[in-house]
Structure 1
Amino acid sequence: MGLWTLLLQLHLVFGVSLTPPSDVSISSFNMEHTLNFLPGPGTPSDTHFTVQIVNDRKNLWRPVVGCLELTAGQMCNLTRVFTDPYTRYKARVQAFTTTQTSSWTESAVLGPLDVSVSGCGNCLILQLKPPATKGLQCNLQLENLYKAVILHVRRTRDGAQFRLNLPYSEEKVIMYLQPGVEYCVSISVTALFNSNHVASKPHCAFTSHPPSRSSLYLLVGLLGFFCILGFLITGLVVNGGQRSFTILRQHLSTSLSYTSTS
């Protein structure tokens, strides 16, 4: 009995760490921002949860009033504390009881976008789609979370590369590229509530190929043929007109001579 008493006392004094919350994510719908989470496996029924937020300007975690003692299944409304639409925010959740606490779990990292790339002459067309994210409400329009897309473009032939930072939209066009050349594009995003992001794998495509040498020869040949044909038709028209004028003049001369004789 002495051993069990000692273990119980150690448990009460130091506390065995609780399993941290899981699936911590921030959803946005109709300008309402909500934090969702799930209790970790084996979390006791008397456990409560507290929420803190931070933004990339102050970089100081602060508690969210109204979300200091949540129970399992409750959500935290962050609309009033996400006051600056041009600042990225993160949130974290901690489980606690009267004798135990868990480590903090931060809001989920944004996964890579689904990307498709196709050539369009001297440009590339990118179709972007938000990743399927479990744990968020089914009516969440995830694209509302994104502020911008960061495009890392690399030319396969020589490794030349550049970077573009553009407002988020489902279609992007990268202009002024070399035709017939392969480019690889890797994409990451920045968001209102989370500065964490995972870049997509490189997606490669050729800009539209320039005409082949045989096609150029054929095109030049066709142009030459039509030019010659045009000259011939013009010549025939001009020559035919001159012959018609000569015949008409001869006919008029004959008619005038016959009239004078009569």
Structure 2
Amino acid sequence: MVLLLLLLHSGFCVLLPSPANVSISSYNLQHFLSFWPSPGTPHGAHFMVQILGSRRTRWTSVSDCVDLKPGQTCNLTSDFMDPLDHYRARVRAISTNQTSKWTVSRQFQPLSDTVLGPPDLSLSGCGSCLVLRVRLPTDKLLQVTSMYWELLIHVHRTRDGAEFKLKLPYKQESVIPYLEPGVEYCVSVSITTTFNPTSIFSERRCSFTSPPPSEISQFLLLGLCGVFGLVVFLLLGRLIRIHVRRFKPATCTA
């Protein structure tokens, strides 16, 4: 650590090659910076990271990332506190008596540049509708007011493969109305925000809007239809015979 402070405040020559491919990746608001040592970087060199927010004028060192080895990443999750702020990060190489110029990342906004993973989804029927219960993929989204969230819903009807999509404001419990009673639907959901359309759909969950008729009920219904049809057939036959007898011409006898 003493060596690092001496290097930071000394006026030695800039000779080391700057780090390459400095980038920030993010999943569910977990942010990591990665980089590659450039060709010519000496064995034993280490790397340090600093960040700058749009509301600040001075770069600050990331305490856990002042002595990184090649191939290590820097966790910036706790340093990017405001999900709506814009940040930059920079990396430089340091050796015994040498340092490199800084390599600066592109601008990064936590909420818009993260990939939102699939939410937890449960599904139940409510007659001619489905009730969706959705849990956010990360509690870190609770930092952002729910007015920015939307549910992107993909609905698939099992019987014939018919599909449709809809968007609803995010709620922990939502309803998909105007569905067929007693029919199975499968649903998958993703969470999107006003700032970030990049999200992953949940696994598909399936449910009937209402309990389907049992096989016994179906057989009973078919039996009743058959009996009704037979009765109608017999009645029609009897009516036809009566009609024929009534209008049968009389025969003359000698």
| TM-score normalised by structure 2 residue count | 0.54
Asked if 1:141 corresponds to 2:142, the answer is: yes
Q: For residues 213 and 39 of structure 1, what CA distance do their matches in structure 2 show? A: 59
Contact 1:151–1:164 (8 Å) recurs in 2: yes
Contact 1:39–1:72 (8 Å) recurs in 2: no
Unaligned runs of 5+ in 1: 1-8, 27-35, 52-63, 83-89, 222-262
Deviations for 1:127-175, whole angstroms, at most 9, x for unmatched residues?
1001146xx5xxx626735521111111122121111111110011111
Q: Higher Cα Rg: structure 1 or 2?
A: 1
Q: Which residue of 2 aligns with 1:71?
A: 61
Asked if 1:94 corresponds to 2:89, the answer is: yes
Contact 2:22–2:91 (8 Å) recurs in 1: no
Q: For residues 39 and 109 of structure 1, what CA distance do their matches in structure 2 show? A: 15
Q: For residues 156 and 32 of structure 2, what CA distance do their matches in structure 1 show? A: 41
* 1:155-170 map, 5 Å: 155-170=157-172
Change over 3 Å in CA distance of 1:161–1:132 after alignment to 2: same
Q: For residues 136 and 101 of structure 2, what CA distance do their matches in structure 1 show? A: 41
Give the superposition deviation at 1:214: 4.3
- Pick the aligned partner of 1:16 from 13, 16, 19: 19
Q: For residues 197 and 49 of structure 1, what CA distance do their matches in structure 2 show? A: 26
Q: For residues 130 and 121 of structure 1, what CA distance do their matches in structure 2 show? A: 26
Give the superposition deviation at 1:72: 0.6
Identity %: 34
- Pick the aligned partner of 2:47 from 44, 47, 72: 44
Deviations for 1:66-108, whole angstroms, at most 9, x for unmatched residues?
16613215735648xx5xxxxxxx8554323461315446632
Contact 1:24–1:38 (8 Å) recurs in 2: no
Q: For residues 91 and 203 of structure 1, what CA distance do their matches in structure 2 show? A: 37
Change over 3 Å in CA distance of 1:43–1:157 after alignment to 2: farther
Contact 2:123–2:133 (8 Å) recurs in 1: yes
Give the superposition deviation at 1:23: 5.1
Q: For residues 173 and 213 of structure 1, what CA distance do their matches in structure 2 show? A: 29
- Pick the aligned partner of 1:206 from 201, 205, 208: 208
Change over 3 Å in CA distance of 1:67–1:188 after alignment to 2: farther
| TM-score normalised by structure 1 residue count | 0.52
Unaligned runs of 5+ in 2: 1-12, 36-44, 64-77, 93-99, 225-254
